[in-house]
Amino acid sequence: MMHHRWVLPDGTPSNAREIFLSRWSAAASAAGLVCDHLGTVDGHALELFGHPQCAGKGVRLLITAGFHGEEPAGPWGLLQWLQTQGGDWQQRFAGRADIRLIPLVNATGFQMGRRFNDRGENPNRGFNLAIDPTRPSAEGALLIQHASLLREASRDGVLSCHEDIAADAAYVYTLESQAQPSARSQALVATLERYLPRHEDGLVDHCPVHDGIVFNQLDGSFEAWLFREGARYGACLETPGRQAIATRIAAQAGMIESFVQNALEI
Ligand code: NI
């Protein structure tokens, strides 16, 4: 299995898990977020963050990152977005949005710059055994144990932050209960294009991509699972590993903001 690592502009290696977690913890504290401990996998906590004053009011959004360990711009991008909220979280979102964050699903893969976890499992598969017999990973099984919490948290949308490390250009997967991508999906792509080239029309991972969107691909992924469970909207970001890490992180943070802002307007 290949190991992938980039160096952030401040010299931090992209797989520096303890540095990531300590910066995350500081940013979460500054925003007033508290942590819900979902469980532990091989000694690593799987944690869900939210703001206690925002719980249960307004649109419910779930944003996750770090399913695949060789896709570091997801977690770092979510951190960058959280840092830009600073102490304004409650003022901006109270009564309007209950946003929950899972910053790092696959802790062991992240540290190694490796796609799968230490057990050799894919944390983003096993959520739909009817179409794909792959069993859930240890992390996936833990998330499935918290199905009712996650279903409620993602009621108005679920976003998962990934990368395509072999790609030169960016795209998104979106899941919607309509025949064509909505304005919400178009806005994600418009944001992506402010940072990165958009993937040309054709195929990615055997799926048709059109205008930067792979549409309604109901696979065994986490986001497809929650969409089937009733989330009104699902999306998965794919930034290209062959572009600069700082640009990928900024693109992730920008698209997260687009996802949130568009949900506030629905
Ligand atoms: Ni991925």
| Residue 47 neighbours by CB under 8 Å, 6+ apart | 35, 36, 37, 38, 102, 103
List the chain domain ranges.
17-264
How many angstroms separate the alpha carbon of residue 96 from the centre of ligand 1? 30
Q: DSSP character for 88?
A: G
Full-model pTM: 0.98
Structure tokens at 34: 């508290």
- CA–CA dist 220, 254 (Å, integer): 27
Residues 172-228: pLDDT tens digits? 999 999 999 999 999 999 999 999 999 999 999 899 999 999 999 999 999 999 999
Q: Report the C-alpha gap between 227 and 216 in whole angstroms.
A: 10
Structure-block tokens of residue 236: 């998965």
Residue 208, both tokens: 């048709």
Q: What is the pLDDT of residue 78?
A: 98
Please state the rounded mean pLDDT for residues 157-183.
97
Please give the distance, rounded to the nearest whole angstrom, from the Cα atom of residue 89 to the centre of ligand 1: 28
Question: What's residue 112's pLDDT?
Answer: 97
State pLDDT tens for residues 93-110.
999 999 999 999 999 999
Tens digits of residue pLDDT in 235-250: 999 999 999 999 999 9
Taking the centre of ligand 1 as the mean of its atom positions, its distance from the CA of residue 151, in whole angstroms, is 21
Which two three-digit tokens encode residue 41? 């996998």
Classify the phi-psi angles of 205: left when phi > 0, otherwise alpha if psi is within -120 to 50, otherwise beta.
left
Q: How far is the CA of 68 from the centre of ligand 1 (A)?
A: 5
> Does the pLDDT at position 266 exceed 90?
no
Residue-wise pLDDT for 50-61, tens only, equals 999 999 999 999
Spell out the SS3 assignment of 53-69.
HHCCCCEEEEEEECCCC
Distance 163 CA to ligand 1 centre (A): 5
Q: Is the pLDDT of residue 1 over 80?
A: no
Q: How far is ligand 1, taken at its centre, from the CA of residue 66, in Å? A: 8
Q: What is the whole-number distance in angstroms between the Cα of residue 153 and the centre of ligand 1?
A: 21
Query: Any idea which residue has 């250009």 for tokens?
Result: 169
Q: Render pLDDT for 6-40 as a digit per residue (tens, 0 to 9).
A: 999 999 999 999 999 999 999 999 999 999 999 99
Burial of 2 (0-12, 13-18, 19+ CB in 10 A): exposed
| CATH superfamily, domain at 17-264 | Zn peptidases (3.40.630.10)
Per-residue confidence (pLDDT) for residue 240, from 0 to 100 = 98
Q: Phi and psi at residue 25, in whole multiples of 5°?
A: -60, -40
CA–centroid distance, residue 90 to ligand 1 (Å): 31
Residue 157 Cα to ligand 1 midpoint, Å, equals: 19
> Which pLDDT value is given to residue 2?
75
Distance (angstroms) between ligand 1 centre and the Cα of 91 equals 33
Mean pLDDT of the chain: 97
